[in-house]
Structure 1
């Protein structure tokens, strides 16, 4: 079970580390081609979202690695499920109706939360 957690959580953490870093360091113009919704969100909120994604990715990896407060890995994964639920709502209320990635990320985060309880 531990190997499955590290594979799934590691993949999720890599994705969110990358996506969060892009949101923190890139301009709106640079993000627009891959994230059409960025014009609907204030820039400070976009930066905060990126920081939350980076912190969540850290929460998936660091606690199980150190053995300190391992329950936070489950909390981080559940947080990503909530985050993707909000992302789906943002996509469906705007022009961009592509939610396949968001549904996949929510499902992966749910599996990660379940696996984290078995560490």
Structure 2
């Protein structure tokens, strides 16, 4: 199971690193054109969410890799699960069912990693 959690952490980190950098690198106008939700959000929201996602992506792998404060791994996974819970709520409120699927999937994956690293397969 430990190997499975490492694979989950790596996939989660890749997904959130891509998503976070996408939010941070694109100019606001281009991001709004690509993502409808950003048009009704405050201008700072995509950048703030992108920063949280990049930090979470780093947090689910780096502390365990360098064996410094590995308790940060489940904390980062919990934080990413909370971000995705917010995304799920927003997509439900906006009735964006196709966008709900990846958000809910990432929520479940992050919650699984948090459960595994807080619980039976902690470092």
User: Cα distance, 1:95 vs. partner?
Assistant: 4.8
Residues 48 and 81 of structure 1: CA distance in aligned 2, closer, same or farther (over 3 Å): same
> Does 1 or 2 have the higher relative contact order (CA < 8 Å, sep 6+)?
1
- CA deviation profile, 1:82-115 (whole Å, cap 9, x unmatched): 1111111111222523311111111100111122
Unaligned runs of at least 5 residues, structure 2: none
Aligned pair count?
119
Instruction: Answer yes or no: is 1:100 the counterpart of 2:101.
Output: yes
What is the TM-score normalised by the length of structure 1? 0.90
- Kindly report which structure 2 residues correspond to 1:1-119, keeping only aligned pairs within 5 A, or say none: 1-32=1-32, 34-98=34-98, 99-117=100-118, 118=121, 119=123
What is the TM-score normalised by the length of structure 2? 0.88
Aligned-pair Cα RMSD in Å: 1.5
Q: Secondary structure at the match of 1:43?
A: coil
Query: Post-superposition, which runs of at least 4 consecutive aligned residues in structure 1 deviate over 3 A?
Result: none
CA distance in 2, matches of 1:32, 1:43: 10
